[in-house]
Amino acid sequence: MTVNHVKRAFKYRFYPTDAQAAELARTFGCVRKVYNMALAARIQAWTRQERVNYNQTSAMLTAWKKTEELAYLNDVSSVPLQQTLRHLQVAFTNFFGKRAKYPRFKSRKKSRKSAEYTTSGFRFRNGQLTLAKMSEPLDIAWSRALPEGASPSTVTVSLDAAGRWFVSLLCEDPSIKPLPATDTAVGIDVGLDHLLTLSTGEKIANPRHERRDRARLAKAQRELARKAEGEGANRAKARRKAARIHARITDRRRDGLHKLTSKLVRENQTLVIEDLTVRNMVKNRSLARAISDAAWSEFRSMLEYKAAWYGREVIAVDRWFPSSKLCSACGALQDKMPLSVRTWTCDCGTTHDRDVNAAQNLLGAGLALTVCGAGVRPQRSSPGRQSAMKQKTPRREP
């Protein structure tokens, strides 16, 4: 019997030599150039009521390399250039499938600097990774071991805004197996006063990573704003300083979410959440900063893929379900529930903590969906659909 192992990306920092850094910088520039040219070609074709697919853009790339103006594309590995055309094809597939917005051109300053290599574009032997067009292996800080006998199928190299180099190796991980089934289920209500409130009554504090570094970040951004516009060394130094603070905030937030989601998935067979449209909620300017810092979308994403790994089930309840206004004891629905009300007493005599009550109602609704077989996991709404502000969101973030 064939065993299908889960593919998992293992990300590490590495420290390139000057020659390697220069080669990768050239590769990033060529990847961006090819992507933008292919996108422009597809847009022009569409104005003529024609469609261009991956095979046609690949043929265009071959022709571009033969021109004197674009001959420099031959100086870098062809693998990342082909991969960026595949990424563009996926972007259009997602757009026509109404899963994403129309593909946009990549900016030299703002776009992510990365290049993807398939097996023909790198060599991995004896724990050393050597990319095409390079004579020496990368100096990788192996912070954790790859799965025993693992051989990467894809390698992605990237440079973040803080000047840190990363390499991500996609490997099959045989250690990821379904966990023993349990009969535990939990409702999860997200918020800002508390990051999570569980139907068990447990509340997870909101670490507010961005607010902890807000003063330091504001100072770095003021220093950056005082630098003259352009590509000067002082401005680049100030930009990296602000980016390092952002990176530290992001790293702490992601680490905390990983630990939290792993714990929830290990301990519960069924996890019920609310199907929020965060992209619309952050349009509220008074709460956008706090909502972004809470990273509800990232929390959901982690919860879903880890549940799929370990044989758990995530149920998303429709966002219009009145979880805050419904009494979890008798089912009575309150007419109004102002945001200032954090505890309330139902006519049946039950006193509720607003968030715990909402989590318990979510759990009940999720289990009901499972029993009746109705949409267990609703699709996320399309980008154009509007959604009301989540009623449980507390007052303005200081």
Using CA atoms, how far apart are residues 377 and 314, in angstroms rounded to an integer?
A: 7
| CA–CA distances in Å: residue 197 to residues 113, 201, 206, 321, 355 | 38, 7, 10, 17, 6
Contact 121, 80 (CB under 8 A): yes
Active site residue 189: yes
C-alpha distances out from residue 388 to 278, 325, 391, Å: 10, 15, 8
Is residue 162 within 8 Å of 247, Cβ to Cβ?
A: yes
233 membership: H or E segment, kind and range: helix 233-267
- Structure tokens, 262: 């792993």
Q: Both ends of the chain: CA-CA distance in Å? A: 57
**Options 23, 116, 189, 304, the catalytic residue:** 189
Identify the active-site residue in 23, 116, 210, 274: 274
Q: What is the chain's percent helix, strand, coil content, to nearest 5?
A: 40, 20, 40
Distance CA 91, CA 111 (A): 15
What distance in Å separates the CA atoms of residue 291 and residue 298, rounded to the nearest whole number?
11
Tell me the residue type at 256.
G
- Do 78 and 69 contact (CB within 8 A), yes or no? no
Tokens of 90: 């996926």
**Is 274 in the active site?**
yes
**Neighbouring C-alpha atoms within 13 Å toward the C-beta of 313:** 18
CB-CB neighbours of 370 under 10 Å = 14
Strand partners, 124: 129
**The amino acid at 26:** R
Q: Which of these is catalytic: 210, 293, 304, 355?
A: 355
355 flagged as catalytic: yes
Q: Which residues are catalytic?
A: 189, 274, 355
